[in-house]
Amino acid sequence: MAGQGDDRLNILAGGASVTVAAVLAALKFWALLETGALSIAASLADNLLDLMVSLGGLAALVYAARPPDEDHAFGHSSAEDLAALGQSTFITVSALAIGGAAALRLMSGDIRPLEAEGWGMAVMGISILLTTGLVIGQRRVARRTRSRVVAADALHYLSDLLPNIGAIVSLYVAARWGVYSLDSIVALIAAVILLFGGARIGKGAFDALMDRRADPALIAGIERIARAHPGVHGFHDLKTRTAGARVFVNLHIELDGAQTLEEAHAIGAALRRKILAAYPETDVIIHKDPVRDRRAATPLGPGRDP
C-alpha cells in the first residue's frame, strides 16, 4: 500500500492533470471559434475527454487514499470503473459527431477555408509543450509511487500528442498551400482514434465491474512466489478480481499441521508481504490449511485461476 507521502504525490499529479486539461480545453475552444478547423474540434473533444478522465482519476486517487469503512470493507475503487463507463460513452458520442461532420464535409465538397491559422498553430504548439511537460512529471511520480492511475493518465496524455501534431500540420498546409480538405481528413483519423480509445476504456470498466480476473501475468507471478515460499507445501483456490486500480487476491496455502499457530501465521504473513512487495496494487487475503487436508484442493497448472 502507498504511504501518505505517495498519496500526496499521486493527488498532486492528478491535480496537475486536471489543471492542464482545463487550460488546454479553454485555449482550443477559443482557437476553434477563430479558425473553424474540424481538426481543432477533434482535439478539443479529446481534451474535454482528458478533463473528464483526469477528474475521475483525481477522484479515484482521493478515494483510494481513504481507508475501507464499515459500508465499504474492500474500499471505494469501483467508483473509478463507474466513472469510466460514462467517459467511454462521452468518447463514443464525440467521435461519431466529429467523424460524421468531417465525412459529410468531404462528401459534399463543402471545403471551407480556414481562418487565423497562425493563432491555431500557436495554440496547438502550446498544447504540445504543456502535454509533454505533464507526461514527464506524471511518469516520474508513477515510477516513485507505482500508481497505476497516474501511469495510465500519463499514457493517455502521451497518445494525445498525435492529434495535436496532426492539427498543426493541417493548419500549416491550409495556410501555406490553401489545401483545406486535410483538416477534415485529420478530423476523421482523430475520430477513429477516439472510438478505439472509448472502446478500450469501456471494456476495461465493464470487465472490472463484472469481477473479471486479473492479468494472467500477475496471477502467474503470484503462483511463482507462493510455490517458492519457505514453509508452503502447496496452494489452491487462487482467485482474483479487479476494481479500479486495485487487484483483490484470495489464496489458500497448505502448511504443516503439526506446527504452532504462531509459526503458521508467520509463514502466511511473510508470503503476503512478499506478494505486496512484488505487486503493490494488490489486496491479499491468505487462508491457511493443513497440508494433509487436500480434499478441497484444486490442482493448478501455470497461470490457472479457478
In a domain, 304, yes or no: no
- Average pLDDT in the 6-29 region? 85
Q: What is the pLDDT of residues 33-64, one digit of tens each?
A: 877 776 677 677 777 877 877 887 787 778 76
Same domain, 233 and 282: yes
Average pLDDT over residues 12-32: 87
Give CA–CA dist 153/135, Å, rounded. Answer: 8
Q: Is the pTM of this model over 0.75?
A: no
CATH code, 278:
3.30.70.1350
Under a CB-based contact definition with an 8 Å cutoff, are residues 34 and 119 in contact? yes
Helix (H, G, I), strand (E, B) or coil at 290: strand
- Give residue-wise pLDDT tens across range 174-226: 667 666 666 677 778 777 877 887 787 778 777 777 777 888 999 999 999 99
Our count of domains for the chain comes to 2
* Tens digit of each residue's pLDDT (9 = 90 or more) over 285-301: 999 999 865 544 444 44
Q: What is the pLDDT of residue 206?
A: 79
Number of H helices, E strands in the chain: 9, 3
- The alpha carbon torsion through 57, 59, 65, 68 (nearest 10 deg) reads -110
Q: Are 16 and 104 contained in the same domain?
A: yes
Residue 142: phi and psi, rounded to 5, are -65, -35
Q: What CATH number is attached to the domain comprising 119?
A: 1.20.1510.10
Looking at the structure, do residues 266 and 124 belong to the same domain, yes or no? no
Q: State how far the Cα of 28 lies from the Cα of 42, in Å rounded to an integer.
A: 10
Contacts of 24 (CB under 8 A, 6+ apart): 47, 50, 126, 127, 130, 131
- Percent of the chain at pLDDT exceeding 70: 70
> 178, 209, 240: which is the final residue of a domain?
209
Task: Say if CB 46 and CB 195 are below 8 A apart.
Answer: no
Q: How many residues does the chain have?
A: 306
Which structural domain, as residue segments, surrounds residue 235?
216-290
Highest mean pLDDT among 83-87, 135-139, 192-196, 284-288: 284-288
Q: Is the pLDDT of residue 22 over 50?
A: yes
